Amino acid sequence: MDNELELLQLTEQLVIYVQASDDKYKRVKDSGEKADFYNEVKPFADEVKAINDRWKKKAVEWVNRLKPKNLYSQQIDSASEHIEMVSIQAFFPETSKTRFINYVNSAMYVLKQLIGLLTEEKRGT
């Protein structure tokens, strides 16, 4: 049960990071200004990566153990990659808007699906 609670908290934290990345991208795209790599990009990306790595490990274990309908370990892998990409690409105005939006939407879909499954399981116990 503690594992599920930690997984839920990590998933919710990643939702916040993806939303923050999306907001940052919109501001950067509007202003056209690149962020400073060492003072802004790297610290944020490192913070996201630390949570993302823990989340991916726990999420894959959870999915492989419980085998929920409509959620597979490959989706966790893809979402993890997309989260890492948006946490970096959000700081650069030359990032493709379409690709960025697709990565955000894809990651959010998996994160929200996992939150739904975890909260459903929590209510069921």
pLDDT value of residue 124? 63
For residue 38, the 8-state DSSP code is I
Percentage of the chain beyond pLDDT 70 is 96
Of 29, 46, 31, the residue nearest 101 (C-alpha): 29
CA distance readout (Å), 79 to 22, 29, 44, 68, 90: 15, 23, 18, 17, 16
CATH architecture of 1-122: Up-down Bundle (1.20)
Query: Looking at the predicted structure, is the pLDDT value of residue 101 above 80?
Result: yes
Cβ atoms within 10 Å, residue 14:
27
Under the banding of pLDDT at 50, 70 and 90, the label for residue 121 is: confident
Could you report the per-residue pLDDT of 7-58, keeping only the tens digit for each?
Answer: 999 999 999 999 999 999 999 999 999 999 999 999 999 999 999 999 999 9
pTM of this structure: 0.94
pLDDT value of residue 88? 97
